[in-house]
Every structure is written in C-alpha cells, then in structure tokens.
Structure 1
C-alpha cells in the first residue's frame, strides 16, 4: 500500500488508496489492529455489502497528474 487516506463529509466517508493490488491490500487491512479498531468505532455509520465489506472500488471520472 502506497497511500491510504479517509475523508469525512457529514456522515459520508471517502477512502483514497494507492495500491498495486486492491484485494491484497484489503486482506492486509482486515487483519491490522488499527483497522479493526476503526471498523468498530465507525460501525454505526459504515455501510457494508453482503460480504461485510465496507469499501468498494468506485469508477474514477477524472485524473490529473503533472
């Protein structure tokens, strides 16, 4: 994982990650103590899918790199 940031606007969380392998990054995060604590702390506002994942990849609509 190269970078991982979480932003909050109202009750909406956005995560930004730069990774080579998203699935592997999620596997690593799922076992990390800080992530487990975060998931517990934010459980009342985190939405999860049928598999219990609170993150999904969303389409990029614009990218600028100088």
Structure 2
C-alpha cells in the first residue's frame, strides 16, 4: 500500500456543511474510490485555519490518478466547489504532504 496525505482548504463557515455532505457520501463515490484502489481514507480539519488534511492508502499511483477523470468524481467536485477553494475545473486545491515519520 502507498500512503498519501494532502491538504485542502475549506471556505470559512462551511465546516458543518462539509461534514454533512461527507456523512452522506454517495454510494457511487465510495464504490469509485474502492475500484481505483483507495482504502483507509480519512480527512481531518484544523478548525483554526480551515485546512483539511487528508490521508488515504492506495494500491497504485496510476490507477488512483485515473479516478480524477471519472464522471462521479467530476460530479463530486462540482458538488463541493461552493464550500472549498478550487481550481478552474472545480477540483479542490490540494497540496501533497511530505511523509516524515511512520510507525506500524
């Protein structure tokens, strides 16, 4: 498994809405994540800065990269664009984080 972590940016005052939407995550989105080799996915929020920190374990970088171009993922990006900092294609602005320590 490949461990990946990243940060994204939540708009001010959108914490409850972000949590609500993820608590109702579409079954098709869950299935797409799994089909593209994503496991053990967590997102954490720093409430002082509105920075979201994501962690996911993936099977393969290329397979995971393909998930970005699926119709369901594009639909999810469009759905979330009003509450997050996004790129012109509505993908969330996401910055990869450098791993510095791990302990099993």
TM-score greater than 0.5 by the shorter chain: yes
Structure with higher RCO (Cα < 8 A, 6+ apart) = 2
Return structure 1 stretches of 4+ with deviation > 3 angstroms.
35-38, 52-57
Aligned length: 63
Q: 1:8 to 1:41 in 2, by over 3 A?
A: farther
Identify the match of residue 39 of structure 1 among 53, 71, 77. Answer: 77
Indicate the RMSD between aligned Cα atoms, in angstroms: 2.9
Higher helix share: 2
TM-score (norm. length: structure 1): 0.58
Which has the greater radius of gyration? 2
- Unaligned runs of 5+ residues in structure 1 are none
Higher strand share: 2
